[in-house]
A and B are shown apart, each in its own frame.
Chain A
């Protein structure tokens, strides 16, 4: 099965901007991989921020956006807040299955 790669950790200043990426070992990530982005805080189940590359859930703050960037899926956080400190996972769909990335720990500091 494919390997999906994410940055292990990123740090952003309060009010700053950070971009998380999600790459695939099989080549460029496209909309056909139906990229998802999930946020998970300690002790909580994940929740969906972005589905189908760039669509937001009803509870997704406007400061989060999803896109395709340089052959990868990307999650951009603009105007980081302390409550955005969390683990972020992407999920890609392939023929015959799906694969999560290893997650990115975002620290707001």
Chain B
């Protein structure tokens, strides 16, 4: 069964950092672009970042560029999102999403508050 499992969310103060992880199983991780998507409470889906199969191309939404870094480790079958200089408006459930047929994880909640 193809599966994505996110972890690493939690409560962090404004200006703080968090590292999210997404563990992939049931498919060849290195064959796919991967994405991070977020959803603020009561709001719609928002694409955050994408990374190519080989990790050599990365794209970010404007409001996180320079603060967030997407990365991947094919040996660990894992996707990461390093989030620095967090703001209250970054509060959301963060999902990982596999390209092509579109496999979603269950999400992990990030709350930025003092």
Contacts and interface: CB of A to CB of B under 8 A. Distances in A.
Interface of A: 1, 36, 38, 40, 45-48, 51-52, 55, 57, 87, 89, 91, 96-103
Nearest to A52: B100
Return the 10 tightest CB-CB contacts between A and B, nearest first.
A48-B102, A98-B47, A103-B44, A97-B59, A100-B45, A51-B102, A45-B104, A89-B45, A102-B44, A96-B59
A57 B35 contact: no
How many interface residues does chain B have, given as a range?
20 to 34
B91 interface: no
Interface string B20-61: 000000000000000101000000111100100000000111
B103 interface: yes
8 contacts: A1-B62, A36-B102, A38-B102, A47-B104, A89-B44, A91-B45, A97-B61, A98-B50
B68 interface: no
Contact of A100 (B44, B100, B103): B44
Contacts, number: 51
Identify which of B95, B103, B104, B105 gathers the most chain A CB atoms within 10 Å of its CB.
B104
Name B's interface SS: strand
Contacts of B44: 87, 89, 100-103
Given A1-B62, A45-B106, A45-B107, A97 B47 contact: yes
A57 B101 CA distance: 7
Contacts of A47: 104
Nearest to B46: A100
A32 to B, nearest CB: 15
B40 to A, nearest CB: 12
B104 A46 contact: yes
Given A89-B44, A97-B61, A98-B59, 8 more contacts: A45-B107, A46-B95, A51-B100, A87-B44, A96-B59, A97-B50, A99-B47, A100-B45
Contacts of A103: 44-45
Nearest to A55: B101
A97 to B, nearest CB: 5
